[in-house]
Structure 1
Amino acid sequence: METSSSSGIAVNSECIDVFQSLKIGKKVKYIIYKLSDDKKSIVVEKQSAAGSYDEFTSDLPSDDCRYAVFDFEYKVADGDRNKIVFYAWSPESATIKSKMIYSSSKEALRKTLTGVAVEIQGTDFDEVSHEAVQEKINRV
């Protein structure tokens, strides 16, 4: 099954399968998605079963856009919690063309990822820092 966006870019079925491994199977800690080389579909670039948050953010390119999902763990007064966080990563140094394609294709992927609790728009690493995401989760 492939879903298409308003930009005509399809979501590869592997994107959904890997997301289910994160959401239900808890076999994946984070997923980074990118546009395929031919710019016709969204594909899985990387998945990690045990990556830390620092490892995750270091896997985001400083000069190109990506989408990502992270199974975010945090502490509250009565214990530990998890929320699935979706990231639309669009750094300032990415090309305008890349930003436009990623922006117009985001909803196609986002609609297929049922169970995401929080969405983060990041243009620099401060906006996707653990503290910034924790603060947004606390407001949800």
Structure 2
Amino acid sequence: MAVHDDCKLRFLELKTKRAYRFIVFKIEEKQKQVIVETLGEPAQNYDDFTASLPADECRYAVYDFEFLTEGNVPKSRIFFIAWSPDTSRVRSKMIYASSKDRFKRELDGIQIELQATDPTEMGLDVFKSRAN
């Protein structure tokens, strides 16, 4: 599975310039490559992010999670989410699962990985507990 250059470029912009809150990536099966599907503006929040994931299709996503430490120090962690809902096609799940590690390696700077099959597996509480 090829990775479109735009994926790496947009991720770099998220990581270095905080240009986006999140990025949703989609595998274009006909072209056999991963492309950028959605870019979340910095002002958008977690609810906008979850709303951008389709309920019955797999996606990869990157989310820039900002939080305060116990000493009230603002920090952020970049999460990689492998979104694979139970209702998606088996073939799609297999393609996303088999391509995930290679795609993730292309995005240098991912700090935490989450696998999610339903929204509760990537709730804000999950982000908070994994970020510390």
The TM tier, using the shorter chain, reads over 0.9
User: Of 33, 40, 47, which aligns to 1:54?
Assistant: 47
Residue among 112, 129, 132 paired with 1:135: 129
Q: Is the 8 A contact 1:30 1:69 kept in 2?
A: yes
User: What number of residue pairs does the alignment pair up?
Assistant: 130
Corresponding residue for 2:16? 24
TM-score, normalised on structure 2? 0.94
Question: SS state of the match for residue 17, structure 2?
Answer: coil
What residue ranges of structure 1 are gaps of 5+ in the alignment?
1-8
Sequence identity percentage? 38
Aligned CA-pair RMSD: 1.0
After TM superposition, the score normalised by the length of structure 1 is 0.89
Query: Within 5 Å, which residues of 2 pair with 1:117-132?
Result: 117-132=111-126
Which of 106, 121, 124 in structure 2 is aligned with 1:112? 106
Asked if the contact 1:10/1:108 (under 8 Å) is kept, the reply is: no
Give the gaps of 5 or more residues in structure 2: none
Distance in 2, matches of 1:28 and 1:57, equals 15
Conserved 8 A contact 1:84-1:116? yes
Instruction: Tell me the CA shift for residue 135 of structure 1.
Output: 1.2
Q: Give the alignment partner of residue 5 of structure 2, picking from 8, 13, 28.
A: 13
Task: Give the Å deviation of 1:48.
Answer: 1.4
Q: Residue 40 of structure 1 aligns with which residue?
A: 32
Match of 1:73 in 2: 66
Find the partner of 2:80 among 86, 91, 96. 86
Whole-angstrom CA distance in 1 between matches of 2:48 and 2:120: 15
Contact 1:71–1:83 (8 Å) recurs in 2: yes
**Conserved in 2, the CA contact under 8 Å of 1:88 and 1:120?**
yes
Counterparts of 2:68 and 2:17 in 1: how far apart (Å)?
22
